[in-house]
Structure 1
Amino acid sequence: MSTLQLSLAIFGGLVLAGVIVYNAWITRQSAPRTAKERMPSDAGTDATGFDHTHPRSEDPGSQVAERIEPVLGEAFGADDTAPTPLSENAPTSVPTISKAAPRSPQPSESTSTSPQVPGPPRVPSMVPVTLNNVIASPEKRPGLDALIDVITPLNLDNVVSGDAVMAALPSTRRVGSKPFAVEGLSDITGEWESPRAGQRYHTLQAGVQLANRAGALNDIEFSEFVGKAQAFADAVGAGTDFPDMRGEVARGRELDAFASGHDAQLGFTLRARRSAWSPGYVAQHAAQLGFVPGVLPGRMVLPGSVAGQAPILSLSFDAQAAMAEDPEQSALREINLSLEVTHVPRSEQPFVRMRQVAQTLAETMDGAITDDAGQPLSTDTMDRIGSDLESLYDALDSHDLSAGSPQARRLFS
């Protein structure tokens, strides 16, 4: 073999080796980041990035708590009917506070997976959140309230046992799209409560909610309420005294008009700048900020500081990626962070936390904070939204519907 041929062979081999190395490098760079990439020493982590071998020392109950999501139960008790989903006119992403569009009579699934935009003008230190909040005892379910319910007294001729009341309750706790409830006045506490076995009641009342995200109480629903309450009253031997239908329906429309103008959801999208993320990689970083797995695949929540309170923030990503046979091979290019403004107390500073979480995740995961259209969210935009949000809180407070209160959580549901 001549010297020229030998040289060409060596050169060709070097070129081929270079191509192979380059392709391997490109493949590695484009592969989704995994949970082990940042914390290789975590021997007990699974595909979702959680350690199942050692619970955190400051939180002995973390192994149990991390699989529980705090959720808002039925407003008036157990029901065989699913909660009313958001309207199709639910908020869409714009660089302002998102308000729910006028409510339609029939509920439908929201078409927006990422609400709107984030946070406040100031960013204090991160507020600590412990998983012990998740497994604490739930708060007492909110009862009927004259502010948001039609209430009719049921005048009993004789004392009725709680067992008899429960047996006479209708099979469903809904009137159309509105929650329906019956309560008894406890002789022990002097407070209204859902009927309980072993109790005795001298006074009962029935009610139906005036408005929710499905719209205001209408004539048909009011008539159905009267029929259902009357049938129950006949079963327990009680007299009824129903309010005027026209007045209550008009009151429901007024309440719905106010709620429609103050029903806000905030959110933004965190997009990967370079390499994609795996579900475990996202879960690992979110868990470090206090998030715990939600009840649905691809969803994590930041628990509130009070038992029974709705989650402060929700983090979501592609559910199909979360349920993949090998989640670590699933590539995520974006995740969504959202806040249900009316469900979280102002005292939790949810907007401040939202901004903190977004900025921290963007820095540690090499991402960019944008709206649904992919436009970066500037500091000025976030500051403006923070100012608008304070005005919204003031308006809710002035109507005794403070964000996070039982009345607000029922009305905006």
Structure 2
Amino acid sequence: MSSFQTALAIVGAVVLIVVVAYNAWNNHRNAPRRARQVAQAAPGEGQEPVRRDPLLDAAAPALGAHDDTHPPPAWQDLQIDPVAAAAHEVAPQQRGALDALIDAIVPLAAEQLVSGDAALAALPTTRRVGSKPFAVEGLNEATQQWEAPQPGARYRQFQAGVQLANRLGALNNIEFSEFVAKAQAFADAINAAPEFPDMVHEVARARELDQFASAHDAQLSFALRARQAAWSPGYIQQSAAPLGFVVGSMPGRLVLPAADAGLPPLLTLAYDAQAAMSDEPERSALREVSLALDVPQVARGEQPFARLREVARQLGQTMDGVLCDPDGQMIPAMAMEPIASDLEQLYDQLDERELSAGSVLARRLFS
């Protein structure tokens, strides 16, 4: 082989190596980011992991709605449909779960003491009237507290109630008639006399409450989109865990739990459920996750919007993502403060209505 042929062979080999190396680098750059393997410390050598809560500082989102049949107020920015509320605290010996603020209530006076077992046997098989929750409470003779009927207890006074409105709309005439039928059947079974309210009045109350709730309901949501490399489900979970997120009950859903057990989560982070259920989830390439806040479900004192902004900022830095609205438009920093200001006004308005965000009544109404 001549020196010229040798030189050509060397040049060809170098070009081939460069092409292979570039393709490998490009594939690596565009491959989904995966969760890092964390080395396990030997027994006795490690320390308990420290859970870090997100700081209350910088940037985040927009979007929301109550129901397609209730258009959001015209003043809302970035399609935000706001809401929040005020604490409605009552002494347990005076009132039970039913509340005249959001329920139609029928008093039931029994002619004799009724055992809790007999009351339970008389309850209807379903606890709903159409799309609304239905409940019966009794005034415990021993404790003088309203409660759901309990075995072994004794009652003389009862009350049946149906919720006037929820996110599916207002109580209508048909649902009220069904409520009357269920309450009457229970009253007949325990030999009690019901005092039914006027249907026209209660349905009108339901419509007014539904209009108020529709105008003050906020479910904020925004998207975090990958700038370059996509993410795997494991990488998303690993990035969100230091901020306090844990795996939720549904595939592709992470939640930031409330401080008190049993309360709705402060925030939710969601991604494609099919990727989460894949046989090889680490091969799934995700380019977007959503962060959401259901405003009426979370107490104002938790500062949920500030938490949301800080979570969005930290995840954007960690995952190299950009914050967008659900339509894919980048959210400017200057849009955050007006949103926060609007939410504070909504909190005040619902406080005045005794429906504080995070209160039991607000969680029932906005469900």
1:373: Cα distance to partner? Answer: 1.8
Identify which of 57, 60, 64 aligns with 1:98.
64
Which residue is 2:29 aligned to?
Answer: 29
Q: Is 1:56 matched up with 2:22?
A: no
Q: C-alpha offsets along residues 50-108 of structure 1, whole Å, 9 cap, x if unaligned?
A: xxxx893568xxxxxxxxxxxxxxxxxxxxxxxxxxxxxxxxxxx7663424548xxxx
TM-score by length of 1: 0.77
Compared CA separation, residues 55 and 145, structure 1 to 2 (3 A): farther
1:4: Cα distance to partner? Answer: 1.5
Which residue is 2:121 aligned to?
Answer: 167
Instruction: Give the CA RMSD over aligned residues.
Output: 2.0
Query: 2 CA distance for matches of 1:391 and 1:100?
Result: 18
* Within-5 A mapping of 1:162-241: 162-241=116-195
Task: Check conservation: 2:67, 2:214, Cα contact below 8 A.
Answer: yes
Query: 2 CA distance for matches of 1:24 and 1:314?
Result: 36
Structure 1: state its 5+ residue gaps.
45-53, 60-94, 105-114, 118-141
Structure 2: state its 5+ residue gaps.
52-60, 71-77, 81-95
* Within-5 A mapping of 1:12-411: 12-36=12-36, 40-43=37-40, 56=48, 98-101=64-67, 103=69, 143-411=97-365
Query: 2 CA distance for matches of 1:222 and 1:344?
Result: 30
Query: 2 CA distance for matches of 1:341 and 1:376?
Result: 22
Task: Check conservation: 2:63, 2:221, Cα contact below 8 A.
Answer: no
Task: Check conservation: 2:33, 2:230, Cα contact below 8 A.
Answer: yes
Q: Is 1:7 matched up with 2:4?
A: no
- AA of the residue aligned to 2:48: R
- AA of the residue aligned to 2:26: I
Q: C-alpha offsets along residues 326-363 of structure 1, whole Å, 9 cap, x if unaligned?
A: 11111110100000001100000000000000000001
Higher relative contact order (CA 8 A, sep 6+): 2
Compared CA separation, residues 9 and 381, structure 1 to 2 (3 A): same
1:381: Cα distance to partner? Answer: 0.4
- State the SS of the aligned residue for 1:202: strand
The percent identity for this pair of structures is 58
- AA of the residue aligned to 2:27: T
1:187: Cα distance to partner? Answer: 2.7
Compared CA separation, residues 395 and 31, structure 1 to 2 (3 A): same
Task: Check conservation: 1:103, 1:213, Cα contact below 8 A.
Answer: no
Query: 1 CA distance for matches of 2:214 and 2:251?
Result: 30
- State the SS of the aligned residue for 1:288: helix
- AA of the residue aligned to 1:353: R
Task: Check conservation: 1:402, 1:408, Cα contact below 8 A.
Answer: yes
Task: Check conservation: 1:116, 1:338, Cα contact below 8 A.
Answer: no
1:308: Cα distance to partner? Answer: 2.2
Compared CA separation, residues 97 and 322, structure 1 to 2 (3 A): closer
- AA of the residue aligned to 2:214: S
The structure that has the greater radius of gyration is 2
- AA of the residue aligned to 1:34: R
Compared CA separation, residues 102 and 146, structure 1 to 2 (3 A): farther
Query: 2 CA distance for matches of 1:32 and 1:286?
Result: 16
Query: 2 CA distance for matches of 1:8 and 1:250?
Result: 90
Query: 2 CA distance for matches of 1:144 and 1:209?
Result: 8
Q: C-alpha offsets along residues 267-311 of structure 1, whole Å, 9 cap, x if unaligned?
A: 110011111111111101111000111000100111111232211
Task: Check conservation: 2:166, 2:366, Cα contact below 8 A.
Answer: yes
Which residue is 1:107 aligned to?
Answer: none
Q: C-alpha offsets along residues 355-407 of structure 1, whole Å, 9 cap, x if unaligned?
A: 00000000111111111122111111011100110011011101000111111
Query: 1 CA distance for matches of 2:299 and 2:337?
Result: 20
Q: C-alpha offsets along residues 239-265 of structure 1, whole Å, 9 cap, x if unaligned?
A: 111001111110111101100100111
1:320: Cα distance to partner? Answer: 0.8
- AA of the residue aligned to 1:41: V
- State the SS of the aligned residue for 1:207: strand
Task: Check conservation: 2:63, 2:222, Cα contact below 8 A.
Answer: no
1:34: Cα distance to partner? Answer: 0.9
Task: Check conservation: 2:63, 2:325, Cα contact below 8 A.
Answer: no
Task: Check conservation: 1:153, 1:205, Cα contact below 8 A.
Answer: yes
1:43: Cα distance to partner? Answer: 4.0
Query: 1 CA distance for matches of 2:195 and 2:282?
Result: 62
